[in-house]
Every structure is written in C-alpha cells, then in structure tokens.
Amino acid sequence: MTNQLTLIATAAMGLEGLVKQELQDLGYHDLQTENGKVIFKSDFSGIARTNLWLRTADRVKVLIEEFNAYSFDELFEQTKACPWEDWLPEDAFIHVVGKSHKSKLYSVPDCQSIVKKAIVSRLQEQYHIHSRLEESGVRYKVEVAILKDRVTLSLDTTGAGLHKRGYRIDQVEAPLKETLAAALVKLTNWTPDKTLVDPFTGSGTIPIEAALIGQNIAPGFNRDFSAQEWDFLPQSIWDEALEEAEDIANYDQPLSITGSDIDHNAIEIATNNALEAGLADLIEWKQMNVKDLRPKSDVGYLIGNPPYGERLNDRDEVESLYSSLGGIMKDFPKWNVYILTAHEKFEKHYGIQASKKRKLFNGFIKADYYQFFGKKS
Ligand SMILES: C[S@@+](CC[C@H](N)C(=O)[O-])C[C@H]1O[C@@H](n2cnc3c(N)ncnc32)[C@H](O)[C@@H]1O
C-alpha cells in the first residue's frame, strides 16, 4: 500500500476555516475546504499528528474512494473494487455507518448493508476465505456518504470524537463541546500573556481549552485513537507524534486564566476536570455571581457561554444577567468581550452593539458569537 493518503478532517458547520488554519499550522498545505470538512494529503504520520493536535476538528478519516453510483449494483461493484485488504485484516470487525442527501440511493440502511456485503466479498476473495468472516478482531468504522449521487467511502481513524480529550470526568448541564470551546478561544486574539476570564465557566471547558492552547499542549495527549490498533501502521508514527508534542509543549508559559460560576458544584467539577487535564494550579477557579465581577486589570479577554434562557420562565433572569454584565463591562472599555448565546436580543440587553457577530452551532442550537473589541490604548 502506498504511504500517500488523502485524509479528511471533519468539523462542525462554521468551524472549517479554523480546522484549515490548524492544519496549515501543522505544516499541511494544498488543503481543500468543503462543507463540514477539510481534505488534505499526508503520509501515515499525519494520522497520528492530526488526531493528537487538532483542537477544533471532530475526527480524522482516510479517504478510500470516491465515485458516482445511481444503483445498488454500481454501489456494490465500485465498493468491491477498492483495495480493502490494504486496510482491513481478515478478522476485522466491520462497522458501516452512512448518510445520504439528494441522491437516488437514499435508503441509508440499504446502502450500509450493500457496502458491508461488498467489503466482505472483497476480503473473502483476497484472503481466500470460503466461509463467513469471523469479524472477531479490531473494529473498523467505514462511512458511506452519498451527496448528489457522489459516493465517498472513508475509514475513521479517531474512534471517540476528538472532543473527548479525556479530562472531562464530570460536567454541568449543557456543557460546551471541548472542540467548540477551543474554537471560541481561537476566534479571539487572545495570547497566553493576556488575562482571560470565563464568568459562566460550568465544567470549566473554556479555561481548560485556553490553558492547553496557552501552553501549546496537544489536546489528544491524554487519550487513544482507533487507528492505534491498526497493526500495519508503524508504531513509530505514534511515538514520534507524542515525542514532538512533548518537545514543543511550553509548560513554563505563565497564564492568567480565571473561571467563575454562581454554582459551587460547577466550580468543584471544573476544578476536578482541570486536575485531570494536568492543569491543577494553572487556572484560578472561584464561585461568584457574574453581577459581582470586577476585572482586576484594565485590559483582558472575557469569553463566556451564559445561559440562553430557552425556558420561558428563565428569560427575565437571563436578560437581567446580560444587562448586569453589560453594565459592568462598560466601565472596562479596553476589555475584549466574547459571548456565545442563542438569545436573539442579547445586544439589546447587554446594552452595547457588537463589533462583529459570527454564527455558530452549539450542538444543534444555532447561536451567535458576539464579539466586542476593546478600545486600543
Ligand atoms: C451554559 S452553562 C456554561 C457551560 C460551560 N461553558 C461548560 O462547558 O460546561 C452556563 C453556566 O452559567 C452559570 N450561571 C448562571 N447564572 C449565573 C450568574 N448569575 N453568575 C455566574 N454564573 C451563572 C450556570 O451555573 C452555568 O454553569
């Protein structure tokens, strides 16, 4: 098998640009951005490096093949023509997932089962097996994605999504995905020498992701990826990626990051999560109502994910919260304030018009990322 691969980093809608930037920073060029994904070329080492380093992507997949298919026969034959034996051993446990959009082959369960049959048939021929495949070995997740009759077959290298960093041992209600929290930090101009405050910290996701970024710690340092179980991948790609991560982490970088929340329990959870992430003393945690927030410096970054007031009876409380925060931050005009909320009237209650807004999805909830740039001194 050739060591030249086409990899696909998938991303939540709206985060493709950040993923592209991250890939460029990792040294990958010739990147192709599409809805929800960035496609790039790499050798085997890219599987390890991108899984370990991408902060805002959901997962990394290997592109196996792309072709048009308008009938189940075509889907079967073209899937069977792919060199699956290069990737899957004879005892592979083959798990096929699928999606289809605006295509003749719209029945996803049928497409999945045809792809599975085609792969099994190919492996039986290649491995000279005349009975059923045992499928007693490592799990391989194949995805068949069909868009406007164009089929993309890919193999997942990640396993549990990249947001599962391994540090979140507990969480509050409605936590941010770690990938989105990293994106919120990356969408600001914050640099690790600047003060950063999250006054609605919940499980502590924003401060923890900021600290990992600030000290250049690889977000996947604390976890495994499914491709680590693939015997044909040299162990050296994982060892070298971890070595590189260890070499370039900057554990000496001082940080001024604080997470606060009105809820005691949230602060306990955030503290434990930070401990698990190995960031024990790096972040200051405190129980505080945002109404008591008084920034200690006249310049800094506030990044927050307050309650949105989705339940009707929470609305008044949430709106008064936004207006208290706006009232406080008016006295700190050099602070850069970034708020993610789905409340459409946020600016009205906050009392200041945002310098910029960006649409993002928090899970399935469409939200706006309101950005208030601080006055330059
Ligand atoms: C959407 S959650 C934040 C989730 C967090 N980003 C995470 O990843 O876990 C909103 C948080 O705001 C907190 N909160 C609500 N009212 C508050 C107030 N008046 N002052 C400070 N925090 C408050 C809640 O306790 C909750 O933890």
What is the model's pLDDT at position 292? 97
pTM for the model stands at 0.97
What is the model's pLDDT at position 1? 67
Instruction: Determine the atom of ligand 1 nearest the C-alpha atom of 266.
Output: 27
What is the model's pLDDT at position 246? 97
What is the model's pLDDT at position 280? 85
In a domain, 278, yes or no: yes
In a domain, 168, yes or no: no
Burial of 73 (0-12, 13-18, 19+ CB in 10 A): exposed
Q: Are residues 272 and 182 in the same domain?
A: yes
What is the model's pLDDT at position 311? 75
Q: Are residues 118 and 194 in the same domain?
A: no
User: How far, in Å, is the centroid of ligand 1 from the Cα of 53?
Assistant: 28
Q: Are residues 250 and 284 in the same domain?
A: yes
Q: Are residues 214 and 354 in the same domain?
A: yes
Domain that holds residue 227: 178-372
pLDDT, one tens digit per residue, over 196-219 is: 999 999 999 999 999 999 999 999
CATH number of the domain at 12, please. Answer: 3.30.2130.30
What is the model's pLDDT at position 151? 98
Last residue of a domain, one of 156, 188, 208: 156
Pocket of ligand 1 (CB under 6 A): 171-172, 174-176, 199-200, 202-203, 205-206, 261-263, 266, 289-290, 305-307, 321
Instruction: Determine the atom of ligand 1 nearest the C-alpha atom of 203.
Output: 9
CATH number of the domain at 327, please. Answer: 3.40.50.150
Q: Is the pLDDT of residue 166 over 80?
A: yes
Provide mean pLDDT across the span 136-165.
Answer: 98
Q: Are residues 317 and 207 in the same domain?
A: yes
In a domain, 289, yes or no: yes
Residue owning the nearest CA to atom 13 of ligand 1:
200
Beta-carbon contacts of residue 258 (< 8 Å; ≥ 6 apart): 195, 196, 197, 198, 207, 283, 284, 285, 286
Number of domains making up the chain: 2
In a domain, 172, yes or no: no
pLDDT, one tens digit per residue, over 34-51 is: 999 999 999 999 999 999
**pLDDT exceeding 90 applies to what percent of the chain?**
95
Whole-angstrom distance, CA of residue 167 vs CA of residue 278: 9
83: left (phi over 0), alpha (psi -120 to 50) or beta: beta
Q: Are residues 144 and 266 in the same domain?
A: no
User: How far, in Å, is the centroid of ligand 1 from the Cα of 301?
Assistant: 17
pLDDT, one tens digit per residue, over 57-107 is: 999 999 999 999 999 999 999 999 999 999 999 999 999 999 999 999 999
User: How far, in Å, is the centroid of ligand 1 from the Cα of 40?
Assistant: 38
Q: Are residues 204 and 122 in the same domain?
A: no
What is the model's pLDDT at position 3? 79
User: How far, in Å, is the centroid of ligand 1 from the Cα of 218?
Assistant: 26
Give me the chain's average pLDDT, please. Answer: 96
User: How far, in Å, is the centroid of ligand 1 from the Cα of 19?
Assistant: 27
Q: Are residues 136 and 200 in the same domain?
A: no
Whole-angstrom distance, CA of residue 254 vs CA of residue 269: 23
pLDDT, one tens digit per residue, over 103-126 is: 999 999 999 999 999 999 999 999
Provide mean pLDDT across the span 152-163.
Answer: 98
Q: Is the pLDDT of residue 139 over 90?
A: yes
**pLDDT exceeding 70 applies to what percent of the chain?**
99
Q: Which of 178, 208, 262 to mutate to test the pocket of ligand 1 (most atoms within 8 A of CB)?
A: 262
User: How far, in Å, is the centroid of ligand 1 from the Cα of 116?
Assistant: 45
Whole-angstrom distance, CA of residue 56 vs CA of residue 52: 12
- Model confidence at 142, pLDDT cuts 50, 70, 90, reads very high
User: How far, in Å, is the centroid of ligand 1 from the Cα of 324?
Assistant: 15
Q: Are residues 51 and 144 in the same domain?
A: yes
Provide mean pLDDT across the span 356-365.
Answer: 95
Q: Are residues 234 and 337 in the same domain?
A: yes
pLDDT, one tens digit per residue, over 279-309 is: 988 999 999 999 999 999 989 999 999 999 8
Assign 102 to helix, strand or coil. Answer: coil
Q: Is the pLDDT of residue 221 over 80?
A: yes
Last residue of a domain, one of 121, 156, 191: 156
Q: Are residues 259 and 350 in the same domain?
A: yes
In a domain, 163, yes or no: no
In a domain, 171, yes or no: no
In a domain, 58, yes or no: yes
In a domain, 230, yes or no: yes
What is the model's pLDDT at position 312? 67
pLDDT, one tens digit per residue, over 324-341 is: 999 999 999 999 999 999
91: DSSP letter: T
Whole-angstrom distance, CA of residue 86 vs CA of residue 89: 8
Q: Measured in whole angstroms, how far is the alpha carbon of residue 308 from the centre of its chain?
A: 22
Q: Are residues 36 and 148 in the same domain?
A: yes
Tokens 């696909």 correspond to 8
